[in-house]
Amino acid sequence: MLPRRAQRDRTSRIRLASSFFKGDERDDGGPAWSPVVVGLGNPGRSYERTRHNAGYLVADELAKRHHGSWRKRKKAEAAPISVSLTSATLLKPTTFMNDSGSAVSGYRPEDLIVVHDDLDLEAGAVRIKVGGGAGGHNGLRSIIGRLGNDFIRVRIGIGRPPVGVTAIDYVLSRMDPVVKDAIPRAADAVEFVVEYGPETAMNRFNVRA
C-alpha cells in the first residue's frame, strides 16, 4: 500500500497524463495533440555515443523508422514525421544540454515528449513519466526553468556511476551495450505515447519485468 501522499501524487500524475490526450481543439483552432519529441543530448562527434546522448539516439531511430529528414534550425535540428496518422516533430537541441530549454521555448509544454537518460533507473530500463522534478538532469532543469514541468518524459536508465567516478564523467562516457540495446524500445515507447496517450503507455512500459 502506498503512503497517502504518494497515492495523491500518483493520482495527480494520472489526471495530468489523461489531459494530454483529449480530442478537443485548442483555442487557436489547431489540433489538441501536436507532439514534439525532444531527444536530449549534446551536439558534436565526441558526444555521439555517450550515455548523455541517449535521447539523441532515440530521435535518430524514430527519424529512420518514419523517414524523417533533419533540417537545421537556429537552436535545434528538426524532422517532421507521421506516427499512426499523427503528425509529429522530432527535435534535437543543438544548444548543449545545459541550455536545452531555449531550443523548446516556443512550444507548449503539453505537446512535449522529452526523451532523456536517467541515473535513477537501472541501465537499460525504459519508463514513461509525466511531470516531476529535474532529478539532477541539467537538460530537464533547463526545460523546466523555461516551460514548467507539465510535459511527458521517456526515461532511459543508465544506472549509477561506480564508486570513484563522478556523475559528469559517467554520463559523458561511452554508453554500455545494455543502454544502446534500450534505444529501440524507447523509440517504441514514444510511438506508443503518440498513438495511445501517456496513461496507456505508462501501463504498458512501466511494468517491471
Of 110, 104, 106, nearest to 55 by C-alpha is 104
52 classed as catalytic: yes
Dmax over CA atoms of the chain, in Å, equals 54
Region of 197 on the Ramachandran plot (φ > 0 left; ψ -120 to 50 alpha; else beta): left
- Catalytic-labelled residue, pool 52, 66, 116, 137: 52
User: Cβ-count burial of 134 within 10 angstroms (0-12 exposed, 13-18 middle, 19+ buried)?
Assistant: middle
Q: What is the DSSP letter of 136?
A: T
Q: Look-up: residue for cell 532543469?
A: 141
Beta strand extents in the chain (DSSP E only): 36-39, 71-72, 76-83, 86-93, 112-118, 126-130, 152-157
Catalytic residues: 52
